[in-house]
Chains A and B, each alone.
Chain A
Amino acid sequence: MAERPLVYRTKLPVRLWHWINALTIFIMLMSGMMIFNAHPRLYWGKAGANFDPAWLEIGNRGQTGFLNLLGVEIPTTGVLGYAQGTAEAFPPLVTIPSSYSIAAARQWHFAFAWVLVIALAIFLIYAIFSRHLWRDLALKREELSPSHLWADIKEHARLHFPTGEKARAYNPLQKIAYLGVLFMLIPLVVLTGLTMSPAMDAAWPWLPELFGGRQSARSIHFLCAFGFALFIAVHLLMVVLAGPFNELRSIITGWYRLPAEREVKP
């Protein structure tokens, strides 16, 4: 069977945005976990501190770490609460900087928040004017039908990815994941981040109003971060399953080899 030719699939602005984001999101997650370490408890509502009930807490008793989620305590020694000989919610391996410094973590977090927002703005302008948004990301009419989506879910579950000409385009679940990050996760994480700023709350009082208070915004911000982590995990899994060499070449150089059509069993 002859190898299919390379096709130019991923345009430069998309690749650039991908890599800027890859770096930025990792820095945001890692510095964010250090900021969280300063007060590893989450609340709902306008205010919340040590005397108020937390819906999530990561802590330690001596050398045992635990996660308390909605009142259920889960032992997490070696992962959360107490790990690498350190009594912090998130261990040194995953935080920026590695040893406790809320000042340095905030410096990283807020500097890269600018990178995230500026890159997003430029990418959105590109995506709209180049029609990348409608041509590649928006779901086609037929893709929106429940039966089509269900078929795509089943294909994913069987680890059958599109082949041949169909692999030129994003598949529906992939589109939904990317659109979700672009129009849900990133805007939500930015707005809830802004809501934690006392100066922003004074300038834009609708912010805390929108999220039900600063502590609710902080909780949603954390859940968004979890959403990013989940996205990255699934994203990387898909890259590995779909052929890491071909996928990496495509996101670095833009060139992609369309996978051969599956042979139909007689």
Chain B
Amino acid sequence: MTVISRRNMLVGTGGLMLAGCDRIVASPTVKQVLTLGEKATRSTQRLISDRNALAQEFGRADISPVFKENGTKRPQGDAYAAHVANGFADWRLVVDGLVAQPMALGLPQILAAPSRTQITRHDCVEGWSAIGEWTGLPLGLLLKQAQLSTNARFIVFHCADTLFGKPYYESIDLIDAFHPQTILAHSLNRQRLGIGHGAPLRLRVERQLGYKQAKYVMRIEAVASLDRLHGGKGGFWEDRSGYQWYAGI
């Protein structure tokens, strides 16, 4: 005769429920249905917010004492190390893809360009936030200079860092690309970006979560579709772990 203790029964039932739940969670149909919610969220947020509605800006007193470094802290490889060694003197930001005027800009040119400074809140998908003062070149200005083609739908940011052996990249649509607070930041809290924060240049797209704020930006590419890039989902975490491409929530 087997004696099933109450505890074992609880654990057993729990295990069965867990297995059942996991099957539901893993089902492709279920995943498909759930993406409807994601689409509804993006459409609704875009519908109710003005294209140029600004993310909240803060005062200097609100700046976080320590701005947490996240993701890559130092890109691997000799190429980036060489850039660090000579103070990014040979580094160039490449702007290409669907633009009439491809560009390769050195850091001094970017530093001399018109800039915007904003004290904004960085919201990580994990839940934490940090406030910092960012200064950089408005992306919209750069895209106008490069004469963005009317076929372009997305702006892709190719980065110097790799995670789990894959290059980091991110992408945004043109609404966010031309948003006044979308900048290529070269400074945090009035200091040039440290390596942990994405030196020499990182994207700030203030109405979206942290994983969209690509660090170590090397190349900006204008494209009509994201399908052919890497995993096809428009970003490193989107490809790797199924993060939502629209990270406004």
Report whether B45 and A41 are in contact in the complex, using a CB–CB cutoff of 8 Å.
Answer: no
Report whether A198 and B207 are in contact in the complex, using a CB–CB cutoff of 8 Å.
Answer: yes
Query: In chain A, what residue has the closest Cβ to B128?
Result: A49
Report whether A36 and B58 are in contact in the complex, using a CB–CB cutoff of 8 Å.
Answer: no
Taking chain A's interface residues, is the majority helix, strand, or loop, or is none over half, making it mixed? helix
Could you mark each residue 112-153 of chain B with 1 if its beta carbon is under 8 Å from any beta carbon of chain A, else 0? 000000000101111111110000000000000000000000
CB contacts (< 8 Å) of A93 on chain B: these are 14, 17-18
A47-B64, A198-B123 given; A111·B33 CB < 8 A: yes
Pick from B79-87, B88-96, B165-173, B238-246 the stretch touching chain A: B238-246
> B73 an interface residue at 8 Å Cβ cutoff?
no
> With the chains together, A215 CA to B123 CA distance in Å?
10
Report whether B128 and A199 are in contact in the complex, using a CB–CB cutoff of 8 Å.
Answer: no
> With the chains together, A80 CA to B45 CA distance in Å?
35
> B68 an interface residue at 8 Å Cβ cutoff?
yes
CB contacts (< 8 Å) of A52 on chain B: these are 64-65
> With the chains together, A208 CA to B120 CA distance in Å?
13
Pick from A97-105, A147-155, A173-181 the stretch touching chain B: A97-105
> With the chains together, A41 CA to B127 CA distance in Å?
9
Report whether A47 and B129 are in contact in the complex, using a CB–CB cutoff of 8 Å.
Answer: yes
CB contacts (< 8 Å) of B49 on chain A: these are 199-200, 202-204
**Contact of B241 (CB < 8 Å), options: A39, A103, A203:** A103
A47-B131, A203-B45 given; A197·B18 CB < 8 A: no
**Contact of A49 (CB < 8 Å), options: B56, B68, B125:** B68
Size class of the contact patch on chain B: 35 or more
Query: In chain B, what residue has the closest Cβ to A207?
Result: B56
**Contact of A104 (CB < 8 Å), options: B17, B25, B121:** B25
Report whether B55 and A110 are in contact in the complex, using a CB–CB cutoff of 8 Å.
Answer: no
Query: In chain A, what residue has the closest Cβ to B243?
Result: A103
> B174 an interface residue at 8 Å Cβ cutoff?
no
> A50 an interface residue at 8 Å Cβ cutoff?
yes
> A120 an interface residue at 8 Å Cβ cutoff?
no
> With the chains together, A25 CA to B55 CA distance in Å?
30
Q: How far is the CB of B43 from chain A (nearest CB, A)?
A: 12
A202-B53, A203-B48 given; A47·B25 CB < 8 A: no
Report whether B22 and A41 are in contact in the complex, using a CB–CB cutoff of 8 Å.
Answer: no
> A96 an interface residue at 8 Å Cβ cutoff?
yes
CB contacts (< 8 Å) of A196 on chain B: these are 123, 127, 249
- Would you list which residues of chain B between 23 and 80 have a CB under 8 Å from chain A? 25-26, 31, 33-38, 40-41, 45, 48-50, 53-56, 58, 62, 64-66, 68
CB contacts (< 8 Å) of B62 on chain A: these are 46-47
CB contacts (< 8 Å) of B129 on chain A: these are 46-49, 214-215
Q: How far is the CB of A204 from chain B (nearest CB, A)?
A: 8
Could you mark each residue 183-224 of chain B with 1 if its beta carbon is under 8 Å from any beta carbon of chain A, else 0? 000000000000000000000001111000000000000000
- Would you list which residues of chain A between 27 and 72 have a CB under 8 Å from chain B? 35-36, 38-39, 41, 43, 46-52
CB contacts (< 8 Å) of B124 on chain A: these are 39, 49
Report whether A35 and B55 are in contact in the complex, using a CB–CB cutoff of 8 Å.
Answer: no
Report whether B127 and A38 are in contact in the complex, using a CB–CB cutoff of 8 Å.
Answer: yes
> B106 an interface residue at 8 Å Cβ cutoff?
no
Report whether B50 and A203 are in contact in the complex, using a CB–CB cutoff of 8 Å.
Answer: yes
Report whether A198 and B121 are in contact in the complex, using a CB–CB cutoff of 8 Å.
Answer: yes
Report whether B206 and A198 are in contact in the complex, using a CB–CB cutoff of 8 Å.
Answer: yes
> B21 an interface residue at 8 Å Cβ cutoff?
yes
| 17 examples of A-B residue contacts, CB within 8 angstroms | A38-B127, A51-B65, A52-B64, A93-B14, A93-B17, A98-B21, A107-B244, A114-B37, A196-B127, A199-B208, A200-B45, A200-B248, A201-B56, A202-B54, A202-B55, A202-B206, A203-B50
Please give the residue numbers on chain B whose beta carbons come within 8 Å of chain A beta carbons, in ascending order: 14, 17-18, 21-22, 25-26, 31, 33-38, 40-41, 45, 48-50, 53-56, 58, 62, 64-66, 68, 121, 123-131, 206-209, 237, 241-244, 248-249
